[in-house]
Amino acid sequence: MTATLIWIVVALLAIGVYLSWTAGRLDRLHVRMDAARAALDAQLLRRASVAQELATSGVLDPAASIVLYEAAHAARQAEEEQREVAESELSQALRAVFGDPGQVEAVRAAPGGEEAARELAEAVRRVPMARRFHNDAVGAARRLREHRKVRWFRLAGHAPFPLAFEMDDEPPTALVERVS
């Protein structure tokens, strides 16, 4: 009788340790996901700021300046629910403005334009990487949260279900090719 009771206690203790380890792993994934989201937000803000700065510098033609400024401003001011759409529209505006290699050359020829073009090219290159890191972290957390043991024992607590950040992040080829 006592041996059976000891084995039951050992089994419950092992299950408790395993569930605790799983909850800790899930917590680490959520921390990694939050850090990746902060990095993504920083890169998106940097891209919008550089685009807005370039639009107000007077280097671009007036129509391109207006298009780029409005898209960058909308991306910076967007609410969380509309952020993906606003960032996609900024990507489209960047491709429209810098789709022509002549526009990139005009920016580079202006005083301070070489630095501005390089800074914008770096910003648009970093956004897809930051988004990929974020979405990878979200995928790992989702896969773990879908396990039965996590759902049955509510190991995720009250944390919201992780959502990927889906946006058009294709960089303008003329800008990236000419500056690199």
Query: pLDDT in tens for each of the 180 residues of the chain?
Result: 899 999 999 999 999 999 999 999 999 999 999 999 999 999 999 999 999 999 999 888 899 999 999 999 999 999 999 999 999 999 999 999 998 888 888 888 888 888 989 999 999 999 999 999 999 999 999 999 999 999 999 998 898 999 999 999 999 988 877 555
Number of residues that make up the chain:
180
Phi-psi region of 72 (alpha: psi -120 to 50; beta: other; left: phi over 0): alpha
User: Are 166 and 86 contacting, i.e. CB atoms less than 8 angstroms apart?
Assistant: no
Under 8 Å between Cβ of 129 and 163: no
Which amino acid is residue 68, in one-letter code?
L
| CA dihedral angle for residue 8, residue 12, residue 13, residue 15, rounded to 10 degrees | 140
- Which sign, positive or negative, has the C-alpha torsion 58, 59, 63, 66? negative
What is the pTM for the complete model shown?
0.90
Angle at 136 between CA 179 and CA 167, to 5 degrees: 55
- Contact yes or no for 170/95 (Cβ under 8 A): yes
